[in-house]
Amino acid sequence: MQNEVVSREEWLEARRALLAKEKEATRLRDSVNAARLALPWVKVDKDYVFETPEGRKSLADLFDGRSQLLIYHFMLGPDWEAGCTGCSFLSDHVDGALPHLNHHDVTWVAVSRAPLDKIAAYKQRMGWKFPWVSSFGSDFNFDYHVSFSPEDLAKDKVFYNFTPMQPADANDELPGLSAFYRNDKGEVFHTYSSYARGPEELIGTLMILDRAPKGRNEDSTMNFVRRHDEYEEAAKAPSCCH
């Protein structure tokens, strides 16, 4: 299927109309960012312990000497054989950002409930460098509403993305992003969380595809995505003869 073909002058008129909407979206994004920064904080009083390659660490330890911590809730459960495809897609974009984040006083850490050895094996398979720790045996994932026990899923509703939802629409693990701040006293505060499609802007590939002629070209959200080592080598541009 092909879009309407017009003259250059007609294209410029349509493009300027779109530009006005793009500028409006940029201003709205700036407004949303400002509102996000203005959110009140919640002090974290609970002691969470994580298994890391360097041993057991607290939530405060994960800051690694910085004042800001972003935790990506990566879907990899204790009995999963591989990490979530969508989480893997997002995580492919992280390593290149790490030097910039660290220099700007931000630490990025992925957290999953899978045991550390399973995390390490999948991380090696994907070739990633970012810190990734296990919350197995901790309430952390449950308290931040990204993991659900069989008992949770047997209830009438589960709480995800700040909304009660049907357990049939949930899973034992779901994705999210949470932000924390640590002050000079060592106190830790939860400042922000985002779920479902909330962290989508972190996926640069999607932002690039949005500017391609066919866009994301998907039947449902990210249904085209595979783990980066699972794409067929033979997959090339389709021939007009097929």
d(Cα 157, Cα 160) in Å, to the nearest integer?
A: 9
Q: 149-179: per-residue pLDDT in tens?
A: 999 999 999 999 999 999 888 899 999 999 9
**Two structure tokens written together for 224:** 């085209």
Q: What's the pLDDT score for residue 233? A: 63
Average pLDDT, the chain: 94
Task: Give percent of the chain with pLDDT exceeding 90.
Answer: 92
Q: How many CB atoms lie within 10 A of CB 217?
A: 10
Q: 44-60: per-residue pLDDT in tens?
A: 999 999 999 999 999 99
Model confidence, pTM: 0.92
pLDDT at 236 over 60: no
Average pLDDT over residues 53-79: 98
Cβ atoms of 178 and 71 within 8 Å: the answer is yes
Q: What's the pLDDT score for residue 240? A: 37
Q: How many CB atoms lie within 10 A of CB 37?
A: 9
Q: What's the pLDDT score for residue 83? A: 97
CA triple 224-227-232, angle to 5 deg: 70
Average pLDDT over residues 110-118: 98
pLDDT at 238 over 70: no
Block residue for tokens 């779920």:
195
**Two structure tokens written together for 229:** 């080592």
Q: What's the pLDDT score for residue 167? A: 87
Q: 24-47: per-residue pLDDT in tens?
A: 999 999 999 999 999 999 999 999
d(Cα 86, Cα 88) in Å, to the nearest integer?
A: 5
For residue 24, the cross-strand partners are none
